[in-house]
Amino acid sequence: MAIKNKIDFVCDQVINQKVFEGKYKEIIHSINEKIKTNEISSQKNLGFLHVKKNIQKSDYSKLQNILKFFNEEKIEVLVVIAPEYICLQSESIINLVDTHLKEDSDIDILFINESYSGIDVANLIKYLENKRFALNVISKNGDDFESLIIFRELISLLTNRVGRNNATKYIYVTTNNNYGRLFNW
């Protein structure tokens, strides 16, 4: 006996323009104005809106040197381990900023956030087994438990491949301070 009921979704009018303009247009406009004038309560997370103003020349120079090193070492993948909002901001910056970093490099950048499951981490390790990769761990305090677990597993893979002393060349830690478990691996 075959199932005869079928559900069809028609999505060509998901948002009614009149309802949107009447109810939400002013709310969205108000939020956008607050963001532009830095009057929003969570403005500390909006630094990505002014990327060019927030990046110093010395930081840009460091990034260029790291990219040069990655190209010399034939790094194929950069794994960025960070909280989800930082992953989203970082990926947005890479997609929006007008630089030659993307054009001059064949390096894949993988953003790994704290919501990765054990299966996801296992699949990531399997993917990286035959790749030359580097790590960038971004943490506010160096003690994010979920990030530390993922970091530990990837460090193990990296040290098994290139040795503990050489592994340090491929690890970058970005944090607000210079302490925490990330610095004691």
Question: Between these two residues, 165 and 100, which has the higher pLDDT value?
Answer: 165
Residue 85 sits at the vertex; the CA angle it makes with 82 and 89, to the nearest 5 degrees, is 95
pLDDT at 172 exceeding the cut of 80? yes
Predicted local distance difference test score (pLDDT) of residue 184: 52
Structure tokens that stand for 137 in this block: 């761990």
pLDDT at 179 exceeding the cut of 90? no
Give 117-148 pLDDT, tens digit per residue.
889 999 999 999 999 999 998 877 666 677 78
Residue (of 172, 133, 138) closest to 154 by Cα position: 133
User: What is the value of pTM for the model shown?
Assistant: 0.68
Single-letter amino acid code for the residue at 92 = S
Structure tokens that stand for 36 in this block: 């532009």
Residue ranges of domains in the chain, CATH in brackets: 17-47 (no CATH), 55-184 (3.40.50.10490)
Band (pLDDT 50/70/90 cuts) for residue 72 is very high
Band (pLDDT 50/70/90 cuts) for residue 54 is low
For residue 22, give the DSSP letter. Answer: I
Query: How buried is 174 (Cβ within 10 angstroms: 0-12 exposed, 13-18 middle, 19+ buried)?
Result: middle
Q: Count the neighbouring beta carbons within 10 Å of the beta carbon of residue 135.
A: 22
Report the run of H or E that residue 81 belongs to, with start and end: strand 77-81
